[in-house]
Structure 1
Amino acid sequence: MSHEFEARRQDWIAREELAERMIPLIGGLYRDHGVVTSIHGRRLINRSPVELLKAHRFARQAGDVELAVGDTMRVLEALREIAPGAASIDVARLVARFTEATGTAPADADAAVLADFLRAELAPVLVDVDGARAEGTDVVLYGFGRIGRLLARILIAHTGGGQGLRLRAIVVRKGSENDLQKRASLLRRDSVHGPFQGTIEVDEEANTILANGTLIQVIYSDDPASVDYTAYGIDDAIVVDNTGRWRDEAGLGQHLQAKGVARVLLTAPGKGAIKNIVHGINHDSIEPGDRILSAASCTTNAITPALAAIDEAYGVVRGHVETVHSFTNDQNLIDNFHKGDRRGRSAVLNMVITETGAAKAVSKALPQLEGKLTGSAIRVPTPDVSLAILNLQLERPTDKAELNAFLRQTSLTSRLRQQVDYIESPEVVSTDFVGSNRAGIVDGLATIADGTDVVLYVWYDNEYGYSCQVVRVIEAMAGSHPVVFPERRPVVAEREVAPVS
């Protein structure tokens, strides 16, 4: 027993040491080349050695085998040598494809063979290392509430070498004499999402916040059209309106009257002819002439990817979506007047039945589901993470095992793997999903499937997960969303799942 204990300890130490050596490789690929590395959707950038090992452990979901740290190390070293351009690279899937193609694991392969394989896989993003570096796109956050501050955190963390999105300014109404200090403090500390990972400095004279080297201009204004962004060196910017004050073209169009603004993105469902974009579903419909877009709602982003996958594989006849949603800032802490029905009652003491437009909004991203879905919501006394319950009638029958296997594979290898996650655990609860970067997480153990009648439970971090989707839409608008490798497979691969008899 003592021998086994020591052997296990030494094995951990060896793997932890290897993970420590990965960190500068991962960081260098990101800063110098814009390469975002991940293991089945778990980003490796800015992770500790233990977090990297945890990501390798997660790879068991794809094939019941933990990803070998040595294989990842060899792939990272080879990527450094071939120096690809900006891309989102799933190291675990590259390891699997190389092993399948050659019969040899990367750790045991000839370096030249591995490099040639990676050059072939990444051919579309191989660039001349002496070529000109792409310039970044300026981003302005109009509003700095729950979503605005999370967007700021994500954008700062994604700055890299500056070729992608560059957070340049936030626009707010001045709330107090020490407003700047308070804004910085809210960015630095968060009761739900924890402390900011890095350093923050405030310059009262210049009205700026310096966060991990990103200089953010704080602009005080209550009139979107009157701001001159060019005075701060900001031009052709994408303004992200996260205030919710305006949702139609007339209101949001005020931003376009300001100097230095090129396009506008709303972090709420848009009204009228505004395109509601759910990344992974209809982001390809964004055109250069679209100057005002919407990133839809957190619930629409959570349920649409899973619905799209199921509709493609099984066909959705009709369904009802019930969302159990954390309370939001527009509700009252204690009973008081509210223009909305029931929302005036205390958010922290009550479950509150309310309306949701998420079910109807799905059809803006998935037109084939127009008129097939209804929806309602219950606000509950939790600050973050919500649960969508999808009660569906399908065209083709299935059972729990088949449906879960399909959704699990969707989360790992399909074109929706950045949006859909999957988990099977009898112990998970809502707080376990705080900080999830996926739009929605299917709870496999809760799935009910009886022929054509199906009930799915989809968790989602309605703050952080949604904010990640918003950033993906901004990247799509800017043309800076990294190409994903290996190439994504269709949601349904030749409809290989046989019907249940």
Structure 2
Amino acid sequence: MSTLYEASRIEWAEREELAERMIPLIGRLYRQHGIVPSILGRRLINCSPLEILKAHRFTRKVGDQVLDPVKTLAVLEALERLAPGPASLDIARLVTEFAKVGASYGGRELEQFLRSELAEVVAAEPATPTDVVLYGFGRIGRLVARLLIAHQGSGDGLRLRAVVVRRGSDDDLLKRAELLKRDSVHGPFQGTVEVDEEANTIRANGTLIQVIYANDPAKIDYTEYGIHNAIVVDNTGRWRDEEGLEQHLRATGVSRVLLTAPGKGDIKNIVFGVNSDEIADTDRILSAASCTTNAITPVLAAIDEAYGVDRGHVETVHSFTNDQNLIDNFHQGSRRGRAASLNMVITETGAAKAVAKALPQLKGRLTGSAIRVPTPNVSLAILNLDLKRATTKDGINAFLRQTSLTAPLRQQIEYSENPDAVSTDFVGTNRAGIVDGLATIADGDENVVLYVWYDNEFGYSGQVLRVLERMAGVHPMILPVRQPVAAEGAREAVLA
């Protein structure tokens, strides 16, 4: 027993040392070259050694082996020698593909393999920086700000330059900074936040953010602050049609607008990963749809492609929002005036209809409703679907599990089989939706019921950021997935 104990302790210490050696490499690749290394979608930026090792262990969900940190370190070192352009690279995938070459990690073969595999990004030109303005600084605005700051890397991509708000008090700037610094749901800001009251600026981890006080978006001259051709992210939801959002385009220094709410009329509602290829350089106003639409549409897209969706109903169990009253008071909407912290509130949702804007083939096939519940964050969508062909619980779960790991929608879909999972376990999840496989109902016929968790704040903000990256032309290349996902796909051992 003593020998086993010592062997286990020594093995862990060696793995921990390897993870510690990775950290400066990951940092340099990110800051100097815009490389975002990940392991099956788990970003390694700003991770501790324990978090890096946890990401390596996650690879057991794909095959039976834990990704060897020795191989990860070798890939990171080779990447630094190559110095490729901005890209999002899945280290686990690179290790898998290199295993097919059959070469060792000690020679020049690894570097030659990476040079060939990543030829497109090795020769890539540096991205042109794009200024971003957040119009509104509420729940989504502050989380998008956190993400933009965390993703600033070499500074050649998206640059958060300003926040526009209405002045709420004499100490408005200090209060805005404190709300960025501390969050009751998502925890403290990872870094430092400084305030310059004379200049009306907030400096967060070296990102200088100009706070602009304004009531009319059309009358702002952003060029006075050195901001040009900016993308304005409207987080207020005050305007959802083209006429209202065009006010931003009349401001000096603005080129495009992204709405973080469902758009009305002819505005494209983008669910990243599903219809983000529809984003064109000529689009001046886009919508990132809603949190619920982003949570369910990727799952519905995958299911429809594999099985076909005939009809369905979407029931969302949604955390309360600022639109509701804490205690009973007048509200323009039915039932939303009742105390949000005490009641389950039946209300409407447009998410089911909004799905059709990203998946036109499902138009008229989905109905939806919602129940607001007394939790501050994380919601649950229940999809009751009639499919065009039969399936079992094991079959559809195997398909969704593999989709979450190896398919193009793996950035949007997560899969969980944790028997004790509850809503708070999914706070801070960067996927749009998480399928709860243990809750799936499928008895071998065409009807299935799926349960999809989603962080309606952070998960949605991640989708907003991805749309922003695509609009700005700085969306990093994702290593292509070579393994197709079959509808009744078996477990795939992809790690060497």
TM class by shorter chain equals: over 0.9
Identify which of 462, 469, 472 aligns with 2:463. Answer: 469
Contact kept, 8 Å, 1:387 with 1:459, in 2: the verdict is yes
Q: Please give the per-residue CA displacement for 1:340-375, whole angstroms capped at 9, x wherever unaligned.
A: 110000000000000000000000000000000000
- Match for residue 254 of structure 1? 247
CA gap 1:207/1:467 in 2 versus in 1, 3 angstroms: same
Contact kept, 8 Å, 2:402 with 2:489, in 1: the verdict is no
Asked whether 1:179 is paired with 2:204, we answer no
The 4+ residue runs of structure 1 with deviation greater than 4 A are: 489-493, 495-498
Identify which of 346, 358, 363 aligns with 2:356. Answer: 363
- Match for residue 301 of structure 1? 294
Work out the CA distance in 2 between the residues paired with 1:143 and 1:363.
28
Identify which of 200, 224, 228 aligns with 2:217. Answer: 224
- How far 1:111 moved relative to its partner? 3.0
- Match for residue 102 of structure 1? 101
- How far 1:270 moved relative to its partner? 0.3
Question: What does 1:310-325 align with in structure 2 at a 5 Å threshold?
Answer: 310-325=303-318
**Structure 1 counterpart of 2:201, which letter?**
T
Question: What does 1:341-380 align with in structure 2 at a 5 Å threshold?
Answer: 341-380=334-373
Q: Please give the per-residue CA displacement for 1:290-309, whole angstroms capped at 9, x wherever unaligned.
A: 11110000000000000000
Work out the CA distance in 1 between the residues paired with 2:84 and 2:113.
13
Unaligned runs of 5+ residues in structure 1 are none
SS of 1:288's equivalent in the other structure is coil
Asked whether 1:115 is paired with 2:115, we answer no
- How far 1:12 moved relative to its partner? 1.2
- Match for residue 454 of structure 1? 448
- How far 1:134 moved relative to its partner? 3.0
Question: What does 1:473-488 align with in structure 2 at a 5 Å threshold?
Answer: 473-485=467-479, 487-488=480-481
Q: Please give the per-residue CA displacement for 1:111-162, whole angstroms capped at 9, x wherever unaligned.
A: 311111111211111127xx6x433100000000000000000000000111
- How far 1:58 moved relative to its partner? 0.8
Contact kept, 8 Å, 2:340 with 2:374, in 1: the verdict is yes
Work out the CA distance in 2 between the residues paired with 1:65 and 1:318.
40
Q: Please give the per-residue CA displacement for 1:40-88, whole angstroms capped at 9, x wherever unaligned.
A: 1110000011110111111111112211111111111111111111111
The range that moved more, 112-121 or 369-378, is 112-121
Identify which of 367, 381, 388 aligns with 1:395. Answer: 388
- Match for residue 59 of structure 2? 59
- Match for residue 39 of structure 2? 39
Work out the CA distance in 2 between the residues paired with 1:11 and 1:163.
40
- Match for residue 24 of structure 1? 24
- How far 1:489 moved relative to its partner? 5.0
SS of 1:148's equivalent in the other structure is helix
Work out the CA distance in 1 between the residues paired with 2:374 and 2:66.
38
Q: Please give the per-residue CA displacement for 1:5-63, whole angstroms capped at 9, x wherever unaligned.
A: 12111111111111011001111111111111101111000001111011111111111
**Structure 1 counterpart of 2:143, which letter?**
L
**Structure 1 counterpart of 2:9, which letter?**
R
**Structure 1 counterpart of 2:118, which letter?**
L
SS of 2:409's equivalent in the other structure is coil
- How far 1:491 moved relative to its partner? 6.7
Contact kept, 8 Å, 2:136 with 2:236, in 1: the verdict is yes
Work out the CA distance in 1 between the residues paired with 2:148 and 2:237.
20
Unaligned runs of 5+ residues in structure 2 are 491-496
Work out the CA distance in 1 between the residues paired with 2:324 and 2:13.
50
SS of 1:162's equivalent in the other structure is coil
- Match for residue 411 of structure 1? 404
The range that moved more, 447-456 or 367-376, is 447-456
Contact kept, 8 Å, 2:326 with 2:340, in 1: the verdict is yes
- How far 1:98 moved relative to its partner? 1.3
Q: Please give the per-residue CA displacement for 1:279-338, whole angstroms capped at 9, x wherever unaligned.
A: 001111011111111000000000000000000000000000000000001100000011
- How far 1:497 moved relative to its partner? 4.9
Normalised by the length of structure 2, the TM-score is 0.97
- Match for residue 339 of structure 1? 332
**Structure 1 counterpart of 2:193, which letter?**
I
Question: What does 1:110-189 align with in structure 2 at a 5 Å threshold?
Answer: 110-127=106-123, 133-189=126-182
Work out the CA distance in 2 between the residues paired with 1:380 and 1:300.
18
SS of 1:417's equivalent in the other structure is helix
Asked whether 1:263 is paired with 2:260, we answer no
Asked whether 1:72 is paired with 2:93, we answer no
**Structure 2 counterpart of 1:296, which letter?**
A
Aligned residues: CA RMSD: 1.3
- Match for residue 494 of structure 2? none
Work out the CA distance in 2 between the residues paired with 1:71 and 1:290.
43
Contact kept, 8 Å, 1:59 with 1:65, in 2: the verdict is yes
Work out the CA distance in 1 between the residues paired with 2:168 and 2:146.
22
Asked whether 1:384 is paired with 2:383, we answer no
Asked whether 1:287 is paired with 2:280, we answer yes
Q: Please give the per-residue CA displacement for 1:169-210, whole angstroms capped at 9, x wherever unaligned.
A: 000000000000000000000000000000111000000000
Normalised by the length of structure 1, the TM-score is 0.96
